[in-house]
Amino acid sequence: MTLEDVACLMHVLIEGRMLGHRKKMLRHEGEALLVKHLGVSKKEVEKICNKEFGGYISYPKLKELYTTSLRRANILANTEDLEELEKVKTYCVKCYLLYLVGCLLFGDRSNEHIELVYLTTMEDGYAGMRYYSWGGMTLAYLYNELAEACLPEDRQIGGSVTLFTVRKFICYFFVIFSVRNNL
């Protein structure tokens, strides 16, 4: 699989910045990202990041943050506080984008949580995400997950399983087509 395959199949950028991060994010770093990008209160942050490595959020918790922000935005839409409304709408969009990135591109093996490090791509607002090579990062992440899945003690795979499956189907289709047509 090549970057061109990723660009063609997923329609994501293959040129741009790569996300440089450690595998494990410390608790205080995860807490800071939740407060800054998703508007989570300090009290709530402690519940979410209750482990030494607090760089994760569960899918149900992210959905709860999204629905809370959406509900709050709907209430604020009837008021004149446009600044607060814009801030809450931004939290809502960032929750949704984090969910998409976590599900479609960088799914983990447990299929239970998303790394918060992807919020750092939204430092310049969510429009700043266009400067990242999402295709390159997706392919690198998938290759890393495939390498780990080949180990005898591992039986699960993470990464963009959709990309892996589509690529496998396309290769299978062309082999069958070639054999049937004696190519």
Q: How far apart are the first and last CA of the chain?
A: 22
Q: From CA 166, how far away is CA 174, in angstroms rounded? A: 12
Between 97 and 20, where is the model more confident? Answer: 97
The pLDDT tens digits of the residues spanning 110-158 come to: 778 888 888 888 887 777 788 888 888 888 888 888 887 788 877 777 7
Sequence-ordered list of residues with C-beta below 8 angstroms from that of 49, at least 6 positions apart, any chain: 27, 30, 31, 34, 55
Distance between CA atoms of residues 6 and 4, nearest Å: 5
- Taking the C-alpha atoms of residue 100 and residue 98, their distance in angstroms, rounded to an integer, is 5
pLDDT in tens, 51-77: 656 688 888 999 999 999 999 999 998
For residues 151-175, average pLDDT: 66
Whether residue 98 contacts residue 106, with contact meaning beta carbons closer than 8 Å, is answered with no
Q: What are phi and psi of 42, to 5 degrees?
A: -60, -40
Beta bridge partner(s), residue 132: 17
User: pTM score, two decimals?
Assistant: 0.79
Higher pLDDT, 26 or 118: 118
